[in-house]
Amino acid sequence: MRRALDILLSGAGLILTLPMLLVLAAVIRWDSPGSPLFSQVRIGRGGEPFRLLKLRTMRSVSGGSGLTQGTGDPRITRVGRWLRRTKLDELPQLWNVLVGDMSLVGPRPEVPQFVAHYTEAQREVLRARPGLTDPASLRGFDEGAVLSQVEDPDRHYVEVLMPEKVAAQIQYLHARTLRSDLALILRTLRRIATGR
């Protein structure tokens, strides 16, 4: 049932947002050179890697080699800053949901470098299909602002933020229902629309 809902809603979402995606792609190309799409290897269910899609929010700049530079990263473009704040850069992941790499609701997928730090207990999140949203994502909506305030963003993420997120994800997975997933989707849409 959950997979059927994923296919139905992600397919409808792609159709409805296609005009917006085309406009955003044109604006991204106008703002900085390069493809409007960005893909990155993430770890999915069962520890299998897949390519997560996003609208590109960064340019190539020397320096800023870390993965979690926060909102002050000099590679973030003007348009990219707005896309990240509104979460519209995540829209292409509806395709990841449609093809089965992801679900609408599930633990946000991490890059291999961070998954390598998971404890055996934390690896429980890899038993679920990763998602577009989860309770930890809503709680950490302004994560970039937090990371921009610390000296070593990658270390702070691995030692502080990531364990908190994974704990919240596992707690949700133990109690999730189709109804709670639908409620989480609605909360996420409201958060995007209102910024709160």
Name residue, tokens 């590679």: 75
Global model pTM greater than 0.75: yes
pLDDT at 29 over 50: yes
Mean pLDDT to the nearest integer, 132-138: 90
| Under 8 Å between Cβ of 7 and 98 | yes
Structural domain range at position 170: 2-194
Our count of domains for the chain comes to 1
Q: Which helix (H) or strand (E) holds 52?
A: strand 49-55
**Which pLDDT value is given to residue 31?**
92
Mean pLDDT score of the chain, rounded to an integer? 89
pLDDT at 62 over 80: no
Q: How many residues does the chain have?
A: 196
Identify which has the larger pLDDT, 61 or 60.
60
| Under 8 Å between Cβ of 26 and 37 | no
| Under 8 Å between Cβ of 114 and 162 | yes
Q: Express each pLDDT in 136-190 by its tens digit.
A: 888 866 777 788 788 888 898 999 999 999 999 999 999 999 999 999 999 988 8
Compute CA distances 40 → 27, 93, 184, whole Å. Answer: 21, 11, 25
pLDDT at 192 over 90: no
**Which pLDDT value is given to residue 15?**
97
Crossing angle for the helix pair 2-31 and 178-194, to the nearest 10 degrees? 20
